[in-house]
Amino acid sequence: MTQQTTPDISLEGLTIGYGETVVVRGIDAVLPGGKISVILGGSGCGKSTLLKHILRLHPALAGRIVIGGHDMAKLDRRGMHCLRQRMGVLFQDGALLGSLTLGDNVALPLREHTRLSEKDVRERVLAKLGLVGLADFHDYFPNELSGGMRKRAGLARAMVMDPPLLFCDEPTSGLDPVTAAELDQLLLELKRRSDMTLVVVSHDLDSMRTIADHVLVLGDGRVLFQGGLAELEATQDEYLRRFLDRQALARTTPRLTMPPLDFKLMKRDCSGYLDEQQS
Amino acid sequence: MTQERRAQLSPIAQLGDAALRLVGDTGAMFLFLLESFGRIFRSWGQFPKTVRQIYFIGVKSISVITLISLFTGMVIGLQMYYALAKFGADGFLGAAVSLSLVRELGPVLTAIMITGRAGSSMTAEIGVMRISEQVDALRVMDINPIGYLVSPKLAASIICFPILTAFFDLVGIVGGYLTGVLLLGGNSGVYWYRVSAYLKMNDISGGFIKSLVFGVVVCTVCCYMGYYTHTRRDAVGPEGVSQATTAGVVTSCVLILLADYVLTSLLF
């Protein structure tokens, strides 16, 4: 396989889904190399499904996925082996192995695919954990950490082999605004330093506005938009405007008429008991 | 095929559908076994993982195996003594206890006990990893999930099942001695003499082969059920893991008894 440092990802007539269920049909898009592409869309529109298809965790129902000039469907086992060693993936919940400590989780690809000494592995792991602010949590198990910390550790693991391709599934969801902003800066820094191709699945508009060079918007079972961030911001498409502009969304969304609330739905009324406890 | 489509099928077609799935699953399970066996010897990295699994499957099962084997031996000793004494053959108690344990009960009960203790946790562990994307994470890190998760368990099962079976047999024979000799007053020397005189190498090797086969069956079935939790039609998510665990244990127990019959008729 030729060593293209910043591979493009081309999706050609791609239809994705599970079994007989089609999630998104007819995707024709290029996620440019050396840039941050954000796949945007509402919940359940198929963003994560698209990512899993790009990673060949699920077979495409139709069409092709071409990474760095290589058709994913035509790659044999060795080809996939070569390609996957050039990818880093952050899953939605981190997907850390529960039986390993954070350090061992991050070290796993190094121990499996390199001949580095344990000392070098540890140094590298600590450096990557340091990048995401978790160097002091090297010996913790994933269940001892918060969801946000697990996600950051997942990012450290995805970066540990310095892959030219980095995929992140909702990296900022569930993080506080400060940590989310730090993570955005980290992704920007990664792109600046290593000319990496990053594909980020997100519905966080602030994050998208900070990091995106290229945006792909999914919705209604198809691609609604693809292009640069400025182009997206200037769009007059009603759906996209509603998606991008929360204030416009609040203005145009009809007010919900709610039925009166009933606080006495419980089988037993405990309010008397609580008053008794207070006195 | 969707649930609605299956519901529309006639009973005969449903039977055919079930038969096709059974054949498909059997074939897939066999390929799964071949791949996991082939990956045992891939690298030295498998060795520490296998040692951890030996500790989990083997060492941690010793207490429960001791308890079950002791009481099994004691019950056999008690029952056999009364039965044999009726014909004045109570001196053959040692032979009866040792042969029934070494040839049949030892391998079968050990396998069933390990299925309950370790097999269920193999299914649950791999099933939880599957639904929480940990298996997908291994795949994208270019780490073969079968080699990483299943092969060390298979290697550990192949090592642990025969050793635990031998341990079961030994403790069971001592259990028979406790009731037959110490409690009911049988002759101690005769008991041990009959054990050594009637127990042939063929019986021991037969029990050994059975335990090896049971180890492979239990590990393959339980890991397979966990690995393919996400493809289950009856339930998804955590409920799917619990259904897979139940299916793994039940299928393993049925296959143990089935394989026991086949092996007994072939080996002895």
Name which of A51, A54, A82, A91 to mutate to probe chain B: the one with the most chain B Cβ atoms within 10 A of its Cβ.
Answer: A91
Q: How confident is the model at residue A2 (pLDDT cuts 50, 70, 90)?
A: very low
The rounded percent of chain A whose pLDDT value lies above 90 is 34
pLDDT for A247 equals: 56
pLDDT digits (tens, 9 = 90+) for A219-247: 888 888 999 988 888 888 888 887 787 65
pLDDT digits (tens, 9 = 90+) for A152-178: 899 999 999 989 899 999 888 878 888
Residue of higher predicted confidence among A257 and A26 = A26
| Residue contacts between A and B (CB atoms, under 8 Å) | 51
Shortest Cα–Cα distance, A272 to chain B (Å): 38
SS3 A6: coil
Q: How confident is the model at residue A1 (pLDDT cuts 50, 70, 90)?
A: very low
Residue B228 φ then ψ, to 5°: -105, 30
Find residues 5-64 of chain B whose CB sits inside 8 Å of chain A: 45
Q: Is A168 on the interface with B (CB under 8 A)?
A: no
Shortest Cα–Cα distance, B136 to chain A (Å): 7
Cβ within 8 Å, pair B141-A98: no
Closest partner residue to A57 (CB to CB) among B2, B45, B136 is B136
Shortest Cα–Cα distance, B205 to chain A (Å): 37
Residue of higher predicted confidence among A242 and A119 = A119
**What residues of chain A lie within 8 A of the CB of B126, using their CB?**
none
Q: Is A55 on the interface with B (CB under 8 A)?
A: yes
The rounded percent of chain B whose pLDDT value lies above 70 is 97
Shortest Cα–Cα distance, B158 to chain A (Å): 23
Question: How do beta strands A214-219 and A197-202 pair?
Answer: unpaired
Q: Which residues of B97-113 are buried (b: 16+ CB within 10 A; e: fewer)?
A: bbbbbbbbbbbbbbbbb
Residue of higher predicted confidence among A246 and A211 = A211
Residues in chain B, total: 268
- State the ipTM, two decimals: 0.84
Residue pair A29/A216 in contact by the 8 Å Cβ criterion? yes
pLDDT for B54 equals: 96
In degrees, rounded to 5, the angle at the alpha carbon of residue B73 between the alpha carbons of residues B70 and B75 is 110
Question: How do beta strands A21-31 and A36-41 pair?
Answer: unpaired
Q: Which residues of chain B have pLDDT under 70?
A: 1-8
Cβ within 8 Å, pair B142-A84: yes
pLDDT for A92 equals: 87
Cβ within 8 Å, pair B137-A89: yes
Specify the amino acid at residue A206. Answer: D
Residue A90 φ then ψ, to 5°: -105, 115
Name which of A20, A49, A97, A104 to mutate to probe chain B: the one with the most chain B Cβ atoms within 10 A of its Cβ.
Answer: A97
pLDDT digits (tens, 9 = 90+) for B147-184: 999 999 999 999 999 999 999 999 999 999 999 999 99
Half-sphere exposure of A149 (CA within 13 A, CB side): 17
| CB-CB neighbours of A46 under 10 Å | 24
Q: Is A111 on the interface with B (CB under 8 A)?
A: yes
Residue A187 CA to residue A201 CA, distance in Å, equals 13
User: How large is the greatest C-alpha to C-alpha distance in chain B, in angstroms?
Assistant: 70
pLDDT for B75 equals: 96
pLDDT for B241 equals: 94
CATH homologous superfamily of domain A1-84+199-253?
P-loop containing nucleotide triphosphate hydrolases (3.40.50.300)
Residue of higher predicted confidence among A69 and B172 = B172
Residue A166 CA to residue A87 CA, distance in Å, equals 6
Among the listed residues B199, B33, B25, B196, the one whose alpha carbon sits nearest the alpha carbon of residue B102: B199
SS3 A98: coil
Chain B residue closest to A93 (CA)? B132
Cβ within 8 Å, pair B141-A93: no
Q: Dihedral through CA B144, CA A88, CA A150, CA A96, nearest 10?
A: 0
pLDDT for B264 equals: 94
pLDDT digits (tens, 9 = 90+) for A124-159: 999 999 988 889 999 999 999 988 889 889 999 999
Q: How confident is the model at residue A252 (pLDDT cuts 50, 70, 90)?
A: low
Find residues 238-257 of chain A whose CB sits inside 8 Å of chain B: none
Q: How confident is the model at residue A194 (pLDDT cuts 50, 70, 90)?
A: confident
Among the listed residues B76, B81, B79, the one whose alpha carbon sits nearest the alpha carbon of residue B92: B81
DSSP lists the bridge partners of residue A166 as A88, A198
Cβ within 8 Å, pair A91-B136: yes
